[in-house]
Structure 1
Amino acid sequence: MIKTLYLMRHGQTLFNQLHKIQGACDSPLTQQGIDDAKKVGRMFKDKGIIFDHAYSSTQERASDTLELITNQPYQRLKGLKEWNFGVFEGESERLNPKPDPKIGSYGDFFVQYGGESVDDVQQRVNQTLTEIMEQPDANNVLAVSHGGAIHSFVLKWARDHTIHIPNCSAMKFSYDNGVFKYEETIEAD
C-alpha cells in the first residue's frame, strides 16, 4: 500500500533571518515564520489533507511550526533533529564550507569541530522516517524537521540533489515497501 509523507521544514527563525548557522541551537520563529506556518495549515485544510499522525523534531522551532499548522496531537522525536554543526553553531553562515559537488553536501566537515557528518544525519533521519511510515496506521503523515536534516534525506531518495528547501515548505514523498519517492515541494507562497 502506498503511503504519503509530508516532510516539512520549520518556519523562518530569527537565526534564519540573521543568516546564522543553527543546528543543535535554537531560535524563535519570526512573524513571517508564524504567518507562513498558519498559511500552510490553511492550505492543508483547504485541500482536505488530514494526517493520521504528526511528528516534529524536539527543537522548539519545529514543534512551534507544527502547532501552528494543526492542533492535533503529535510526537516529538530526536531522530528528526537538525544536523549538529559543532562549534559553528550560532556563527555566521559565511563560515560554512563550500559543499562537495560530488556528494551535494558538506560531508564530514563538521565532525572535526564537534558536529555530525552528513552520513550520520542521513542515517538518523532515514531510520526515524522509515519507522514512522512502517506503522500500520500511518497512511498520511506530517513530520516537521529542518533544512540540513531534510537535505540529507533528499540526498538518499531524490534524483535531484539541488532541490531547494525553503522555510515552511513541505516535501511530499510517497512510501511503499521501504522506499521513499519524492513527488513535489509545496511552498507557503
Structure 2
Amino acid sequence: MADFPKIWFLRHGQTVWNAVHRVQGQMESELTELGIRQAQVQAGLLAPILKAKEPPCLVSPLGRAQQTAQIALGNYPYVTDPLLAEAQAGAFEGLTLDEIAEAYPKISAACPQILDLFCEAPGGEGFDTFAGRVRKTLDQLEVPTVIVAHGLWGQILRGIVCGLDRSEMARLPNEQGCVYVLENGAEAVLRAG
C-alpha cells in the first residue's frame, strides 16, 4: 500500500440516467433535483475544509461532475483533469442494466458488480486501462487534494488507497451527497447531520 496525500473525494450527484439505471460511462446526463441537493450537502461538508486547508481541487471534465463541482465548491477554483473521467463502457453506454442483461446475458450474469460489468463491456476501456488512469492521478498528487469525479472512478481510487483487490473495490458503496476522506490507507465518510 503506497502512501498518498490526504484526499477528499466527491462522487457527482444523482443524474437523470442514474435514476433509471442507464449506463453513462463517458456520455452525458444532467443532475436531477435530488442530485443538485446532494451537491448542496457536499458544499456544506466541504466549506470548512476549503476555508481551513485551501486544498487544490481536481474535477472530471464530464458535465455531471462539472455541475456538481460548481455547486459543491461554489466559487472555489478547480482544475479540470481528463484522467478523472468515468470508465468508458463501450457498447453498454446509453443502455439500461436490463437492456444489457437482455443483449449480453453471459457478460451480465458473470458480472454482478457494476465495476466489473463496465470493465467487461465490448469496446470499452477495460479494468487495467481504467485503473491505470486512476493510479496515474494518485501518483501525481503532492499535497492534500479534493477530487470530484465518478462512482466507479472513486471505487478504484478508494480501493488503491486502502489496499483492496479488484473484487473488494467492486463491492465498495457508491454514495452520493457525501465526502469520502482518504488518509493513511483508510477511509472515512463525511455525511450531513
Query: Aligning the two structures, in what range does the TM-score lie when normalised by the shorter sequence?
Result: 0.7 to 0.9
Which one has a larger percent helix, Structure 1 or Structure 2?
2
Select 2:56's aligned residue among 48, 53, 57: 53
Indicate the residue corresponding to 1:105 in structure 2: 116
CA RMSD of aligned residues (A): 2.6
How many residue pairs get aligned? The number is: 176
Query: Secondary structure of the equivalent of 1:105?
Result: helix
The 2-side partners of 1:128 and 1:99 are apart by 30
After the TM superposition, which residues 1-189 of structure 1 pair with which residues of structure 2 at under 5 Å, given as runs?
Answer: 3-46=5-48, 50-70=53-73, 71-94=75-98, 95=100, 97-98=108-109, 105-106=116-117, 108-110=119-121, 113-131=122-140, 133-134=141-142, 138=143, 140-158=144-162, 159=164, 160-161=168-169, 162-174=171-183, 181-187=185-191
Cα distance change, pair 184–108 in 1 and its aligned pair in 2 (3 A): same
Distance 1:146 1:99 in 2: 23
Q: Counterpart of 2:89 in structure 1: which amino acid?
A: F
TM-score (norm 1): 0.81
Higher strand proportion (structure 1 or 2): 1
Unaligned runs of 5+ in 2: 102-107
Q: Percent identity?
A: 25
User: Please, what TM-score do these two structures have when normalized by structure 2?
Assistant: 0.79
Post-superposition shift, 1:128? 1.3
Q: Post-superposition, which runs of at least 4 consecutive aligned residues in structure 1 deviate over 4 A?
A: 46-49, 98-101
1:5, distance to aligned residue in structure 2 (A) = 0.5
Once residues 115 and 166 of structure 1 are traced to their aligned partners in structure 2, the CA distance between those partners, rounded to angstroms, is: 24
